[in-house]
Structure 1
């Protein structure tokens, strides 16, 4: 057994899993505050990555400036999307709103292809060296940066929800929208804030992944890949999203290792996490950290 390759893949899985966890937190954030599953989450990664790429290539801005401007754009983009498209859907059946998010996903994929084309694009060189050797393992600098950013976002989420006024308002809205509204909390404002934060954080993950693999339509697929991680951890649990993301990230790489070394079945990288998801949900239908929904008649 090639233990060095196995260790390399496990570390890569942990790093990618942290990014899955970050995007998964956005799923949970939108769901807890609005009771909507946003199937356009992957397109937030795609749009954010392309906007940052355009600022770096066309305007030739420094990476940090372009990165921060793209995040600001995505914050406004997320809020505007909620106010213009989704706010009129308040009070409509949940399935109707979910279908709107699926329509938004298709629309933004087509729009991005029309504006930027279908060919993958690489970011301008950001680091002088693309990878570093740590204990004999080659790790992309972009992945190290992503680890720092992911941990920063997770700590930021904790502090925001625990100590800020807006975070407490979002927690109250997630618990009960009618009670929150009776306490003077603007539910509409909370909805808009949750979409703005989800778009911004997802764009961060999109930029980091684009730095390593280039910007292409495959970024939008990450929204679908993250969804099993969210279900695995529990659709209403921030901690569950992080744990589920790490589990899925590691499982993907372990499946790739054992398939390439022993099984030779092909495509195990993509399908193994879904099999594990089905197995876990068989015993824990609400996920590892999800809240059991009990209805009394």
Structure 2
């Protein structure tokens, strides 16, 4: 058994898993506030990555400026999307809103292909050193940046929900919208804030993935790829989303190791998260930390 390869893959899985956890948090943010699963989440990654790429390549903006501009754009984009498209759907059946997000996914995909084309575009170098030796392991610099940014965002999200006024308002709205309104909380503002934060967080993840793999329409596939992590942790648990992302990241790389060493199936890395999703739904339909709803009829 190639122990060095196994350790390398486990470390990569842990780092990538934190990034999955960040994207899964984006699912959870919208679900906690609106009870809607956003199937256009992967397109948020794609739009953020293309926006940053366009600033850096077409307008020659330095990364230290292009990234904040990208996040500001995604913040406004998330608010505009909720106000113009999704706010009129308030009060409609949840399945109708979900179908709207699926339609948005298709529209955004087509729009990005029309503007930027369909070819894979390499992302401009962000770091002078592409990889760093850590205890004999070669780890890409962008992965270390991803780990640091992911941990910072997770800590910020924990503070946001436990201390900040807006975070407490979001928790109250998620618990009961009518009670939140009676306490003077603007439910519409909470919805817009949830979509805005989700768009910003997704953009950060999209840029990190693009720095490693380049930008193409395939980047949006991370939305569906990370969905098992959100289900695993529980769709209404931010902490569960983080843990689910780490578990999926490690399992992916373990599947890659087993496949490369013994099975040689060739696609186990891609399908392993969905095997986990099926098993989890059979055993714990609400995920590891999801809230179990009890309905009496």
* TM-score over 0.5 (shorter chain): yes
Measured after TM superposition, the shift of residue 277 of structure 1 is 2.1
Deviations 1:157-176 (A, max 9, x none): 01111111111110100110
Structure 1 CA distance for aligned equivalents of residues 120 and 291 of structure 2: 40
Deviations 1:20-75 (A, max 9, x none): 10011110110010111000000000000000000111111111110010000000
Q: Tell me which residue corresponds to 1:279.
A: 279
For normalisation by structure 2, the TM-score amounts to 0.99
**Residue 68 of structure 1 aligns to a residue in which SS?**
helix
Structure 1 CA distance for aligned equivalents of residues 290 and 163 of structure 2: 23
Q: Tell me which residue corresponds to 1:58.
A: 58
Structure 1 CA distance for aligned equivalents of residues 23 and 124 of structure 2: 24
**Residue 247 of structure 1 aligns to a residue in which SS?**
helix
**Residue 138 of structure 1 aligns to a residue in which SS?**
strand
Structure 1 CA distance for aligned equivalents of residues 87 and 242 of structure 2: 29
Structure 2 CA distance for aligned equivalents of residues 286 and 143 of structure 1: 31
**Residue 118 of structure 2 aligns to a residue in which SS?**
coil
Matched, 1:218 2:215: no
Runs of 4+ in 1 over 6 A off after TM superposition: none
Q: Tell me which residue corresponds to 1:187.
A: 187
Measured after TM superposition, the shift of residue 280 of structure 1 is 2.5
Structure 2 CA distance for aligned equivalents of residues 138 and 172 of structure 1: 45
**Residue 221 of structure 1 aligns to a residue in which SS?**
helix
Structure 1 CA distance for aligned equivalents of residues 69 and 248 of structure 2: 31
Structure 1 CA distance for aligned equivalents of residues 37 and 277 of structure 2: 18
Q: Tell me which residue corresponds to 1:38.
A: 38
Structure 2 CA distance for aligned equivalents of residues 218 and 11 of structure 1: 24
Q: Tell me which residue corresponds to 1:253.
A: 253
For normalisation by structure 1, the TM-score amounts to 0.99
Structure 1 CA distance for aligned equivalents of residues 198 and 62 of structure 2: 25
Deviations 1:231-257 (A, max 9, x none): 111111111101111111111111011
Structure 1 portions without partners, runs of 5+: none
**Residue 139 of structure 2 aligns to a residue in which SS?**
strand
Structure 2 CA distance for aligned equivalents of residues 107 and 281 of structure 1: 30
| Pairs aligned (count) | 297
Structure 2 portions without partners, runs of 5+: none
1:91-110 aligned at under 5 Å gives the runs 91-110=91-110
Q: Tell me which residue corresponds to 1:228.
A: 228
Which deviates more from structure 2 when the two are superposed, residues 94-103 or residues 57-66?
Answer: 57-66
Deviations 1:142-198 (A, max 9, x none): 000000000000000011111111111101001100100011100000000000000
Structure 1 CA distance for aligned equivalents of residues 280 and 118 of structure 2: 37
Which deviates more from structure 2 when the two are superposed, residues 112-121 or residues 265-274?
Answer: 265-274
Structure 1 CA distance for aligned equivalents of residues 127 and 204 of structure 2: 18
Matched, 1:144 2:141: no
Provide the aligned C-alpha RMSD in A. 0.8
Structure 2 CA distance for aligned equivalents of residues 291 and 127 of structure 1: 42
